[in-house]
Structure 1
Amino acid sequence: MKIAVLDDYQGVALESADWSVLEASGAGITVFRDTLTDHRALVERLAPFEVLAVMRERTPLPGSLIRSLPNLRLIVTTGARNLSIDLAAAAERGITVCGTESRGTTTAEMAMLLILALSRGLVREANAMAAGGWQAGLGRDLAGLRLGLVGLGRLGAQVAALARPFGMDIAAWSQNLTEARCAELGVERAPSLRALLEASDVVSIHLVLSERSRGLIGATELGWMKPDAFLVNTSRGPIADAHAVLDAMRAGRLGGAAIDVYDTEPVPRDDPIRDPQLIAEGRLLLTPHVGYVSRQTWEIFYRQTVEAIAAWMSGAPIRVLKV
């Protein structure tokens, strides 16, 4: 049996779990550290494999790709949900799709880190020291600032809990957010997205990408924000128009932004979002979608990937994802 482990950017998949149980059964494991976007090249690479172990949405598996892989019999995705896998196409071909559990706090911690780093100008000050300089600007305390959460599900609630000890006032909005949910978490419910954006000093996005949330924050919505406010996106790139965010910062209509997610990943080297001036000023903080990337998370992901493959090989698949 041939197993392909995809998109292992750091080269740590094999050391994050014990794969020997699979190798002992005669399975061959091949690890790929890059992401291919060309359909033909991807088909050529993956055609020999019976099992694909995929990392979240890094390599999408649409129906056109699934139908082009004649040997494919099992897909294991890290996480309990992967919207970039065409489950219907997999089911049509009799391909089993399994998932894993995940840690609950990793992305929320990253969002809080970005809020802190942006507010205190951490990158700007670190770069000043690295260049032989000293204090380069003024940061802001979080105490007394208003945090607006776009989304108050599991991750939004965790960010609220992390922000509260810093003395932030917290409000939230989403299409289906109820007063009961806000009361449960001790968070003020904003009556509209506009009201949330107009009143917040820091806005952090925590929505699932859907047709309702795609493009939710564009030029118009950014115009509602305070000119010194910060926007943080650790959710999904298409929810906020990143290039409108840059335009707003260049025009002095937005204080800063921290972005961990993008429309295209990995981000091309020449993508305009890599604005050197805004980055140098410390107003733009870009990170390479590491909100869920941690040692403990990887240990869960890959240990349960191995378990899922072994269980499928024994005829009793676990954590099967259905259409």
Structure 2
Amino acid sequence: MADVLSPPPALRLRVQDTVREADGVLGLLLADPWGAPLPAWEPGAHLEVSLPSGRIRHYSLSGDPGDLSTYRLGVLRDQGGRGGSEEIHTSIPAGSLLDVRGPVNRFPLVPAERYAFIAGGIGITPLLPMVREAAARGAAWSLLYGGRTLTSMAYRDELAALGGGNLVLAPEDTHGRLDIDSLLRGLPDTAAVYCCGPAGLIAAVESRCAALFPARPPHVERFTAAPDTALGSASGPDEGGFEVELRRSGAVLHVPPGRSLLDVVREAVPSVPSSCEQGICGTCETKVLAGAPDHRDSVLSEAEKAAGNTMMICVGRSRGGARLVLDL
């Protein structure tokens, strides 16, 4: 796993071009302003993008890892979101400069002889480089890709060039909901299953894989929080709240029930970085010096959660209500 506590230095990149990839999906091509090669990356990687408004957003790299002249991002316009995608679609023309960090990869492509990919909507962005890599390795693969309509589904031509009979495009307006059993049924239990898309799709894939391949859970990347990240839900409610000590600043703060640890920490450290505030991006990962975190994120592995060395303070709590000591 990439060390988010010591992230790569920021890069200032120029928006070389913007491209309409599909209905509601804008592609950004980012390049070094002086033409230098960009840092290498592998399928599944993403960039942390600082927008002119100060918002921080994470976007998967959807281009070719073999071409380090540009990075390609695909951004779905979500008019009901928190403003990041709307800003990109309306306020960042070609020629703009953006500060980015990364690439960081928390969704790597593991070695396997067979892959099953399931994409919903903009969830195709991290999976496209994986499909390309699987094809290059000579591995058997299949992709089930759904969206609202065919014209809303990005990168169809690129996938068709790779896919042949391995690719199934299933727009909801003509095909209904994705038939994930048609893809999973008959797979060997050694196959690697990858899914990225809406929360409902990921939950359905996890449920079916638990029944079919209980020893091999699917590899997933979320764009929204998992159902168990709400305050008070992971290990029971912390009815009296808990204390957090910020070792570097010396502050000791009370975190009441129903209020996030991140929100309270900001009272003493306003500059603490955050982005998703749902436990899915890793921006707010913080070193734990003492105490037992109650992890509610979808970023850390089970082994990392058990170690308790870091936590995502946007959703994490204190196990048992004891004091947490953070390196802040």
TM-score (norm 2): 0.36
- Tell me: higher relative CO, structure 1 or 2? Use CA pairs within 8 A at least 6 residues apart: 1
Question: Based on CA coordinates, which of the two structures has the bigger radius of gyration?
Answer: 1
TM-score by length of 1: 0.36
Higher relative helix content = 1
